[in-house]
Amino acid sequence: MKKRAYLLTCMLLIALLLAACSNAGGSEQGNGGDGQAEQNVKISLLSWNNETEMKPVLDGFKKKYPHITIDFQSAPPVKDYIAKLQTMLLSESATDIFIIAAENRNEIIDGGHALDLTDQPFMDTMIESNKPMLSKNGKTYAFTQTGWVGGWYYNKDLFAKAGIEKLPETWDEFVAMCLKLKEAGITPLYDNMQDLTSMHSVLYGNMTLASDPSFDDKIFAGEKTFSDGWTEVFKLWKKDLIDGGILTPDMIGLTGDQIESEFTLGNVAMFFGGPWNISKLEATEGLNFGMMTVPGPNPGENYYVGAPGVGFAVNSASRHQEEALQFIEYLSTEEGLQLFYEGTGALITASNFEAKVHPALQTAFDEGLMAGKVYLPMVAWPRHQEALRNQFVISTQDMAVGKITPEEAAAAIDKKFEEMENK
């Protein structure tokens, strides 16, 4: 009896071991389906849009290609998605199709994980200004059909209450407007400084990039420093907004959701946002809102915050590259674009599509995104985006609580850059 129990235990252990081995072997080829019959293929997709958002386009694809089944997976942006894809790539179990974002493009492209899509016919529909973020050495590795632009949502009724009749065109007018709102007992602006602040980005566009569009490249080539380009931006922001009491350090503790709620409740006149806020703002009854950008000191050179949308890429280790390419090709068709828009509400920038833009975003879309007057540091920086972004957040918060000066804030970023270059 005992002997039998012992034998059984041993067998169970061996079986477990074998199962573990066979599993490891299988995962090497990615989430491959049953490839024995061509008309019945299963491909996998990892996206940061959730299933509800992707459903229309997935259903449309299934209708057109009934023999291809898509195993859909998603992880929310940004960190969760990046960590999930990274684990999958390292363990050689990445999906056939995944997305490349500004935050992980270097690692994915340099690691050779994405297929070169440059010469694919569907790439013609991708507008040129969307390509640099997803390219390296003249080759493009992902397809994006979207872009996004953000600015400051403002409450028209609160503006009217404070007697503001026209939107500011220069930085001084903007500061004066904020002070006027404050005098009227209205909180002008919330900014929680938890991300690289949008205010800094548009000021950098106006004060630095407008006169030298390749300034970021020069920083990364070692010809310029972050201090050269950002110190004046920080000084202006600190002097007028922090010392002027328009932004206060207590805002650091706010979450994005709280800021959005405060805006819909009419407790604050402005906040930074993008297309992702529209549905909530629209759903708020009686909220009369528009979007503007914050003008810089140089008139006529105003920037918005924005970037190409994330790109769909094909896993270079995939066994079903042909089918994966068919999916991306489908995304680029008019039908695919329409369905993608219906599901996600994203701003479609593909050249073969008439984009539908919410009226509040129209100016930002025309004068910012389509005119190329958008800036997002994470897209413009070729390396170390996350490390630098994090240092910007720390420096901004330290400046806001008065721990360091603008000069020290910029120097800390240069120090981080040097550290990352020599890591």
What lies within 8 Å, CB to CB, of 238 at 6+ separation is 399, 405, 406
Q: How many CB atoms lie within 10 A of CB 155?
A: 23
Residue choice 68, 347, 400, 413 for contact with another protein (CB under 8 A)? 400
Q: What is the dihedral of CA 59, 63, 65, 69, to 10 degrees?
A: 40
**Smaller CB separation from another protein, 156 or 403:** 403
The window from 3-11, 143-151, 290-298, 309-317 that contacts another protein (CB under 8 A) reads 3-11
Amino acid sitting at position 248: T
What lies within 8 Å, CB to CB, of 132 at 6+ separation is 379
The window from 9-17, 47-55, 212-220, 226-234 that contacts another protein (CB under 8 A) reads 9-17
Consecutive H or E run containing 74: strand 68-74
142 contacts another protein (rule: CB under 8 A): no
28 contacts another protein (rule: CB under 8 A): no
Residue choice 146, 346, 397, 406 for contact with another protein (CB under 8 A)? 397
Residue choice 4, 63, 166, 423 for contact with another protein (CB under 8 A)? 423
CA dist 399 and 349 (Å) reads 37
β 289-292/304-308 pair status:
unpaired
Joined tokens for residue 315: 């896993």
**Smaller CB separation from another protein, 247 or 360:** 247
- In whole angstroms, the minimum distance from the beta carbon of 385 to another protein comes to 10
- In whole angstroms, the minimum distance from the beta carbon of 84 to another protein comes to 11
**Smaller CB separation from another protein, 62 or 79:** 79
90 contacts another protein (rule: CB under 8 A): yes
Most distant CA pair in the chain: distance in Å? 93
Joined tokens for residue 300: 């006529």
β 347-348/268-273 pair status:
unpaired
**422 alpha-carbon distance from chain centroid:** 27
The window from 41-49, 86-94, 206-214, 308-316 that contacts another protein (CB under 8 A) reads 86-94
- Taking CB under 8 A as the criterion, which residues in 158-217 touch another protein? 190, 193-194
Q: Which residue has the tokens 């569009």?
A: 213
CA dist 47 and 276 (Å) reads 17
249 contacts another protein (rule: CB under 8 A): yes
Spell out, one character per residue from 254 to 273, where the chain touches another protein: x when CB under 8 A holds, - when not: xx--x---x--x-x------
Consecutive H or E run containing 92: none
CA dist 243 and 248 (Å) reads 9
Spell out, one character per residue from 31 to 70, where the chain touches another protein: x when CB under 8 A holds, - when not: ----------------------------------------
Residue choice 43, 101, 108, 278 for contact with another protein (CB under 8 A)? 108
Bridge partners (DSSP) of residue 130 are: none
403 contacts another protein (rule: CB under 8 A): yes
Q: What is the dihedral of CA 295, 299, 301, 306, to 10 degrees?
A: 10
The window from 40-48, 80-88, 196-204, 216-224 that contacts another protein (CB under 8 A) reads 80-88
Q: How many CB atoms lie within 10 A of CB 161?
A: 15
Burial of 13 (0-12, 13-18, 19+ CB in 10 A): exposed
**Smaller CB separation from another protein, 126 or 193:** 193
- In whole angstroms, the minimum distance from the beta carbon of 369 to another protein comes to 28
- In whole angstroms, the minimum distance from the beta carbon of 227 to another protein comes to 18
79 contacts another protein (rule: CB under 8 A): yes
**Smaller CB separation from another protein, 24 or 371:** 24
DSSP 159-177: HHHTT--S---SHHHHHHH
> How many residues lie near another protein (CB under 8 A)?
42
CA distances (Å), origin 332, targets 68, 149, 327: 18, 21, 9
- Taking CB under 8 A as the criterion, which residues in 354-393 touch another protein? 384, 386-387, 390, 393
> 119: which DSSP letter?
T
- In whole angstroms, the minimum distance from the beta carbon of 172 to another protein comes to 27
Residue ranges binding another protein (CB under 8 A): 2, 6, 9-10, 13, 79, 82-83, 86, 89-90, 107-108, 110-111, 190, 193-194, 249-255, 258, 262, 265, 267, 384, 386-387, 390, 393-394, 397-398, 400-401, 403, 420, 423
